[in-house]
Structure 1
Amino acid sequence: MKPLLPPVVVNGVTIDPGRIAAEAQNHPAPKGKPGHAWRAAARALAVREILLQEARARGIAAEPAELAPGQWETEEEAAIRALLDRAIRPEPADEAALAAHYAAHPEQFRAPSLYEAAHILFAAAPDDAPARAEARARAEAVLAELSAAPRRFAELAAHHSACSSKTAGGVLGQLSSGDTVPEFDAVLAGMEEGTLALAETRYGLHVIRLDARARGEVLPFAAVLPQLRQAHDKAAWLRASRAYVDRLVAGARISGVSFRRDGGI
């Protein structure tokens, strides 16, 4: 009987189908398309085999490094790391280019904004659609009440909120960007002082009141230069490593899986 999936062979070495099946668990697949995960796993193991073959051809070996307390690389992982360290030469950072990026995108380099806010939480689990609908209806009703009578915020927070801040009239104190979940942060960032808004987060629905905001200043170039260098170095290493792997793949004899962009076999 013909196998459902073809054997994957790299320069004459057949990759164990069991290893591909195990690796596939690490590659999410669209619903109804299990072959997507299998192809991604097969490509990942084919690249690993190519790198190991290249390391052996160069006579490269390395001592496994300790990744975390008690967690060590395998000998194969160490060999691949040593190969990439030797073979990859990322493009160095150009400070003038980094300065130009900084000047063109100043909003990316602001210090965190500070907020003074209060909220009323109507809790609902993200996967409970009926509870979310009920929470939204209750939140919208309270928002309407507050639009007519803003001074009732503390009273309504004490009566309705599922957050412990209800005992302080819903007041959250001083917040900075990133102190709350992104969905809450995004609503805060778009509010004007003294206004009310509705936010939906993983915790439920929130009626938010923004009392004050201090917008963060754009940080000086010297302060963000280390961050820019780090981001450049990471991106440059990824580009160089992909180009190196692409060259090795182009020169290898691979059957059973395709490296075409459409992912076909």
Structure 2
Amino acid sequence: MTILVNGVAVTDQDWPTPQMAAVHELLRQRAVALGWLDHEAEPAAVNEAIERVLAEEVRIPDVDEAACRRYYAQHAQRYQSDELVFARHILFQITQGAPVAAVRAMAEAMLTELRAQPALFAERARRHSNCPSGELGGELGQLQRGATVPEFEQALFEGTALGVLPQLVKTRFGFHIVAVDQRVPGKSLPFEHVHDRVADDLHGDAEARALSQYVRVLAGQAEVQGVELDAATSPLIQ
């Protein structure tokens, strides 16, 4: 089905999801409405204008000491020393011009296969992974926090599951099938030792919520067809 945002057709083949393609168009149109972008602008100018929209229109709450302590208490598992995960992965790389939807479909199909037959993981990694670790059956060895990109780290550490994880992990490199073989728990670190890290994490979460809310309001004010966006009609939504 064709995606339309306020009557403008949107191509989603270069985006991980149709929703992301529609959101990009919403933000582009907002930049045009604000007079910060021409309708026929080049992609680089579009991206720059969207960054300006987000910087000037999205309000991110301040992070104070009390909020940091609450966040630390709610996410204590994040702040441990020497926490290790032994993992493997299969990377389906996304390169410029690659058919993203087709790459994702291949990855999803293999994920389904490996969830049913995990013993095939090493063989599939050797044949199909676009990461050098494929030669080792996808083995990444022991990993600790900070050793990988944030999206991959979250998939590894924000849970307790073992085996082939049920969802693909999307990073800047592409789509990953991930298997967690072992978890070695760490020791909790005192709040005072991780204060700056807690503040950064809390700010990141607050920023993500603010961005999501802003996009939902834009979607609520727009006419969007061909894709479902979580729209809101009030800027006061939580």
Q: Tell me the TM-score normalised to structure 2 length.
A: 0.50
Q: Tell me the TM-score normalised to structure 1 length.
A: 0.45
Which has the greater radius of gyration?
1
